[in-house]
Amino acid sequence: MKLKKIPETELEIMQVIWSNPVPITTTQIKQKLEERRPWSQGAVQSLLSRLTERGFLRTGTLGKSKTFEPLVSEDEYFKVESASFFQKFGAKSSITGLVASLYDSNSISKKDIDELDAFIETIKKGGR
């Protein structure tokens, strides 16, 4: 299955699922989402149905509760998002420019840069 980019609200739901033990119920998902902002039960159910139809989630039951498990890992989806980002900006984008922009906007720290440097060194030495 070729993964497609999903809308922000669906991504919020996937992030809750990825960051919690599975299977996870609709009620648990809604509770976690509401830690950030209010959600209606109908909206959560509708978005979960869409994600299931698109092949991102598998459903099950636990007692009377409907449960969900991811069929797509966070890492798999991150690769799709990253590729989409670079396709949008084409030749104008570079890894160096991206990192510089993130650093200049305080979106990443010196520690993040050090971790990136260590990662690059590992790759240069044939690791990973």
Q: Are 50 and 42 in contact (CB under 8 A)?
A: no
Check pLDDT > 80 for residue 22. yes
pTM: 0.76
Per-residue pLDDT band for 90 (boundaries 50, 70, 90) equals low
Lowest-confidence region among 16-25, 48-57, 58-67, 117-126: 117-126
Of 5-9, 79-83, 120-124, the range with the lowest mean pLDDT is: 79-83
CATH of 8-70, one of 3.40.50.1100, 3.40.50.12280, 1.10.10.10, 1.20.120.1200: 1.10.10.10
Q: How far apart are CA 60 and CA 56, in angstroms?
A: 14
Of all residues in the chain, the percent with pLDDT exceeding 70 is: 95
CA atoms within 13 A on the CB side of 21: 0
